[in-house]
Structure 1
Amino acid sequence: MAETRWLDEQEMATWRGFLAASNLVARRLEQQLKDEAGLSHTQYEILVHLSAAPERALRMTELAERLITSKSGLTYQVAQLEKAGLVGRRSCPSDVRGVVAFLTEPGYEALRAAAPGHVAAVRAALIDVLDREQLVVVAEALGEVARRLRD
């Protein structure tokens, strides 16, 4: 059995800083979207991904991959958006087993209404807190973490 490599002081500070910052940013953005748009952060991201897709539609499996979430969790969130009239679902024309989620016109309008407040919250919670050099370092570092974990 390999010996445990405990975190040194700097590594522990990095880990604690990451945990605190990521949890606080996530909570702040979740609350802002709930208060101002009546959406969860996951629901907002679903609308964003659908709005950017060709014909504002994606297969549910592809949408789950883009959101880095489980298919069952995505199905629940899409069902909530569907009840609100913001998203619809239909069979995939190329695969009868597949389901496509699509953005409705009210969904697109909800996204357009929510986006300015959300961007302002992202700026206040993260982007405007860091200078340009820090933004580059954070983007590169977290991008590397994401790449390794996806492999």
Structure 2
Amino acid sequence: MDTEKASIRDIINNRVKGVKAKDIDMATQDYSNDVILFDIIDPLEHHGKNAVKKRLQEWLSTLAEIKNFEIRNIGIHVSETIAYCTSMNHIDAVNTNGNKLNMWWRETTCYAKLNGKWKITHAHSSVPFNPDNGQASIGLKPEQIQ
């Protein structure tokens, strides 16, 4: 299973490299064609690889500079044909209006082995919220686990 986990880590690393380079194809090369994405902004869901590419392009076009993008505190759990990964994702960037964006969010990514290769079939991103005011808690930072 270590080889399988290493393959999934390669997918994660490709996503990070792709986002940092604003390379949509690199960042999405390991998504399945019928992937379902639950993103941290609306709408509630995106269906299909083309929708994920479009969403990523929209997001990256709002960023003038990406200082850092990372996926860490990674937990990978693998069986023969299904896997999932939990992580804390971080972006440090400046948007096209000159505003700083420095936030963390949680992500769970599901994988299926399709034609011998791991593909992302579902990704769910979220941020916790304050139940007293209903506002997202985007200023939180994770503890370093790995």
TM tier, smaller: under 0.3
| More helix as a share of residues | 1
Larger radius of gyration: 1
TM normalised by structure 2 equals 0.23
Higher strand fraction: Structure 1 or Structure 2? 2
